Amino acid sequence: MTVGKTLWKIILVKLFIMFAVLKLFFFPDFLSTNFSTDEQRADHVIDQITRPAQHRN
């Protein structure tokens, strides 16, 4: 079935682009990359959410 082969190719290319390119190089997990423990991550988020809007970032 020709359409089946085409679809498999599209699926494989798509998954490669998504996981081997986009996820790896463009979509790191921000908190996992920048902090090593959950406690640090929690502190960072609490710090973020306890600033008034005009003072965030």
- What is the binding site for other proteins (CB under 8 A)? 3-4, 6-8, 10-11, 14-15, 17-18, 22-23, 26-32, 38, 41-42, 45-46, 48-57
Exposure string (b/e) for 30-56, b if CB count within 10 Å is 16 or more?
Answer: eeeeeeeeeeeeeeeeeeeeeeeeeee
Is residue 49 within 8 Å of residue 41, measured between CB atoms? no
Closest CB to other proteins among 36 and 38? Answer: 38
User: Whole-number minimum distance, CB 47 to other proteins, in Å?
Assistant: 8
CB of 16 to other proteins, least distance (A): 11
